[in-house]
Amino acid sequence: MSTAVRKYILPCAGYDRPGGNTSRRAAEKLASHHGDVTIGSMGALFTQRPGEMRELRSSRVICIDGCGTKCASVLADARGVKDALIISIPEVSSAVKGDQDKAQSVVDAVEAVFVREAAGEKQTQAPEEEAGPELLEETFDKFTLRVKGDLRYSDNDFWVSVENGNVRVGVSDFLQQMMSDVYYVRLAEVGTHIQMFDEAGAMESTKTLLEIIVPVSGTIVERNSKLEDSPELINEDPYGRGWLYVVNPDDITELELLKNASEYMTHALSKAKKEIGKKVKD
Amino acid sequence: MKKVVVPCSGIGKAFGAVSRETTHLLTQGMHSTDYRTVCLPLLMTDDTEARQVIEESEVYVVDGCPMKCASVVVKHAGGKPVMEIIVPKVLAVNKDHRPATVLDIGEGGRLLCEDIVRIIIERGGKDE
């Protein structure tokens, strides 16, 4: 398990500029070489999307500017990052020919800093993530697992919370990371009765089609119809606005069969390790 | 009136790659005489020249997700997009055209780009 600070690479998004393409290629290479690298989105940062801001605040920030306008570093600065590592493509790769070689020169420059900082020559700690005290967090390879402390969880990565005798159901942060971008959600109708671990609707993402497995028996009394127009809420806010159903339970004691946050964290870490192992074998 | 297509900045995401590839098809392919693009970050930093292009053009935005960052940026810069396309919503109509990965969107992703190009060219200005 790693406790190292994650890296947030913010490439220039200038699609129509040579520097933009070099910056994008370099970022994609770095992300493919390093499990702890996240590629930032200038658009998401500009609009201050919560998930993007969370990544920014909890990571070492590296801006790759494609031209002298330095939009990436200007934007990071405007979002409160004052200690970003700034790589300027004109400065790093102006003497290098060819798109691939230019991108590689940027990768080399960034990796050299990774090595230096890992050796403690210059260790800049990113500020702690602004997580609530109830949010448990562990990092393993590319996964940063966030488990909300006051919920219970099923083995197949759905959470439940009890609210006024009803049970709210949603997707864990680990599951939304595994699914990647959700673009379609089909929810069961209000009034549908389900048995514990029955399927009720489905979610489709860029990676997979997944059935919604409800971890409690009962009748659906509310469904999050906002997800039909905004399925991305599952990725943006899995423990909040991305909830799926509210169920009137047949037997509330069924929830005792589910895992508490600490047990689920162990379970999710084990799954994450298997996932990494599977990719290595592939 | 000039036609400008603006892709999303979602680097590292398959839908962002589809957005950029769609822009490439329109601005570098057989439609290059009709369409051009503009640097999205320059719109964020209020670059005068980029803003002028947006204000004086018919703008088509291709967003990689329903958060529509590119559309937000275009409007911030004073643009009034005639069409705001969300890539996964086009995919939801024809689910066979699914992009593979960000590094290679694959045949499905290429077909999805062609779907979006067709929507822009055939229904240009009529956002449905």
Q: Which residues pair with A170 in a beta bridge?
A: A159
Report the gap between the CA of B38 and the closest CA in chain A (Å).
Answer: 7
A46/B69 touch (CB, cutoff 8 Å), yes or no: yes
The DSSP element (H or E) to which A248 belongs, if any, is strand A245-249
pLDDT over 90, % of chain A: 34
> Tell me, what's the pLDDT at A278?
55
Mean pLDDT for A190-195 is 91
B38 contacts on A by Cβ (under 8 Å): 16
- Per-residue pLDDT tens over the stretch B53-73: 999 999 999 998 878 899 999
| Adjacency order of strands within the sheet including A37-39 | A37-39, A6-11, A59-65, A85-88
pLDDT at A132 over 50: no
Cα–Cα distance between B53 and A127 in angstroms, integer?
A: 39
B41/A11 touch (CB, cutoff 8 Å), yes or no: no
> Tell me, what's the pLDDT at B119?
95
pLDDT at A177 over 70: yes
Chain A residue with minimal CA distance to B45?
A71
Name all domains of chain A by residue range, CATH numbers in brackets: 6-118 (3.40.50), 135-281 (2.40.50.100)
Report the gap between the CA of B48 and the closest CA in chain A (Å).
Answer: 12
B12/A183 touch (CB, cutoff 8 Å), yes or no: no
> Tell me, what's the pLDDT at A188?
93
The average confidence (pLDDT) of chain A is 84
Residue A98 burial (10 A CB sphere; 0-12, 13-18, 19+) = exposed
ipTM: 0.83
Let me know: does A38 contact A141? Beta carbons within 8 Å: no
pLDDT at B128 over 70: no
pLDDT at A190 over 60: yes
Name all domains of chain B by residue range, CATH numbers in brackets: 2-123 (3.40.50)
Mean pLDDT for A220-225 is 94
- Per-residue pLDDT tens over the stretch A242-281: 999 999 998 888 888 888 998 899 888 888 877 766 544 4
Cα–Cα distance between A221 and A245 in angstroms, integer?
A: 8
Q: Is B104 at the interface with chain A, CB within 8 A?
A: no
Query: Binning pLDDT at 50, 70 and 90, where does residue B74 land?
Result: very high
Let me know: does A238 contact A126? Beta carbons within 8 Å: no
A69/B14 touch (CB, cutoff 8 Å), yes or no: no
Mean pLDDT for A54-72 is 89
More confident residue, A142 or A234: A234
A71/B44 touch (CB, cutoff 8 Å), yes or no: yes
pLDDT at B13 over 80: no
A181 contacts on B by Cβ (under 8 Å): 13-15, 65, 88
Let me know: does B40 contact B7? Beta carbons within 8 Å: yes
Q: What are the contacts of A33-38 at 24+ separation with CB within 8 A?
A: A33/A107, A33/A111, A34/A7, A34/A114, A35/A141, A35/A142, A35/A276, A36/A2, A36/A4, A36/A6, A36/A7, A36/A139, A36/A141, A36/A142, A37/A6, A37/A7, A37/A8, A37/A9, A38/A6, A38/A7, A38/A8, A38/A9, A38/B12
A14/B73 touch (CB, cutoff 8 Å), yes or no: no
Let me know: does A199 contact A213? Beta carbons within 8 Å: yes
- Per-residue pLDDT tens over the stretch A18-41: 788 889 889 988 988 888 888 898
